Amino acid sequence: MKKMSQREMKRIMQKMGMGLEELQGVLKVTIHFRDRRLVIPDPQVTQMKVSGQTIYQVVGEAFEEKEKTETKIEISEEDAQLVSAQTGATIEQAKKALEASNGDLAQAIMLLTSKA
């Protein structure tokens, strides 16, 4: 069987109504999952258009990243007032200390009193 050149392949695909194009300047491709990401730096990306749809082919070495989950904790007004009363800090400073300590009252008080 004869091996087909890239040029012959493009010509045949165009006759079938398919377009093939290599995308230039792609820096990275990232695929997001629930708990992780697959990152492909400096990939070779080819775009193929078939029947009104676009298909992307990505070639390159991939590595996995854990998905960063930011959980914003709820700071109650009572906790902020308690930390404020114990340290002499403003309510706003107390809330920031509680956020930095993930809601731990003792640690928030220690943070504010050690700065003084």
Ranges for all domains in the chain classified under CATH 1.10.8? 77-115
Please report, rounded to a whole number, the percentage of residues in the chain having pLDDT higher than 90: 39
Supply the DSSP symbol for 62.
-
Q: Is the pLDDT at 115 greater than 70, yes or no?
A: no
In the CATH hierarchy, which fold is given to the domain comprising 6-66? Ubiquitin Ligase Nedd4; Chain: W; (2.20.70)
0.85 exceeded by pTM: no
Kindly give the residue spans of alpha helices, DSSP state H, lying in 1-116.
Answer: 6-15, 77-87, 91-100, 105-115
Does the pLDDT value for residue 116 go beyond 60? no
Fold classification of 77-115 (topology level) = Helicase, Ruva Protein; domain 3 (1.10.8)
